[in-house]
Amino acid sequence: MYKILVTGANGQLGLCLKELSELNKTLFFTFLTKEELDITNEKQIKNTFVNSNFDYCINCAAYTAVDKAEEDKEKAFYVNVMGVRYLSRICKNFNTILIHISTDYVFDGENNRPYKETDITNPISVYGLTKLQGEKEVMSNTNAYFIIRTSWLYSEYGSNFVKTILNLYHKKKELKIINDQIGTPTYAKDVAKILLDIIKLKNTNFGVYNLSNEGVASWYDFANAIFELKDIKIDIKPISTESYPALAKRPFYSVLDKGKIKNKLEVEIPYWRESLKKCLDKID
């Protein structure tokens, strides 16, 4: 029976892992929230590992407030870089395989084809930069790791685009949604399931992997699909990024190529609209 530590357990991915863990009798989980385990506290991490022989650590802990990070650079750096440094070093010392969650925002969005893991990274936001630096900490401090770059995460848990859009429907007669940022909406539960499959299959093809749902969409497409699948009639107008200024720049194109993870880790990835329907069925 593998023993697995999940950090940042109250986030979307952490909560999806928790739900799936209850159906899984071959894996033993320890879920710790940021209040229970602060990954920027090296001593606290060490004490957590001393008391348990973890086979895997799934690091869901991160500073993810993309716009806020532009003004709160120090905190974003401490969580996404220093915290990952401490965690990866301790994982190596205790022979724990680290599964670290990263982002499509490590790319600048200037590509005209889906990004491969080998493409040049060039983040255009503080958030993206700190996540890239965190990836480098993992690579520098341990050899047994999976870095999973994912995109546009949503679920029935926490705060995300799907829940925000549904809440806005009750407050506004018309919505204006950006249509010139292209990526792939990704159901956090699909990511959680694949992470557990990697563990159960004892896969040791360590490295960096892209993982999002299949397909391509703009935020406008995403919003339309939410209302269509919920059978809600509302007026949605497409707008440009320039019409909706934000503190942090976003990549205009951040579709991820999943060829590597499908071949090396032998995973099956659902199409984004199919997964969105499953999620919406769980949201009132």
* Distance (Å, whole) CA 212 – CA 104: 9
Q: What angle do CA 167, 171, 173 make, to 5 degrees?
A: 115
Catalytic residue annotation = 127
Q: Give CA 134 to chain center in angstroms.
A: 14
User: What secondary structure, in 3-state letters, does the chain show?
Assistant: CEEEEEECCCCHHHHHHHHHHCCCCCEEEEEECCCCCCCCCHHHHHHHHHCCCCCEEEECCCCCCCCHHHCCHHHHHHHHHHHHHHHHHHHHHCCCEEEEEEEHHHCCCCCCCCECCCCCCCCCCHHHHHHHHHHHHHHHHCCCEEEEEECCEECCCCCCHHHHHHHHHCCCCEEEEECCCEECCEEHHHHHHHHHHHHHCCCCCCEEEECCCECCEEHHHHHHHHHHHCCCCCEEEEECHHHCCCCCCCCCECCECCHHHHHHCCCCCCEHHHHHHHHHCCCC
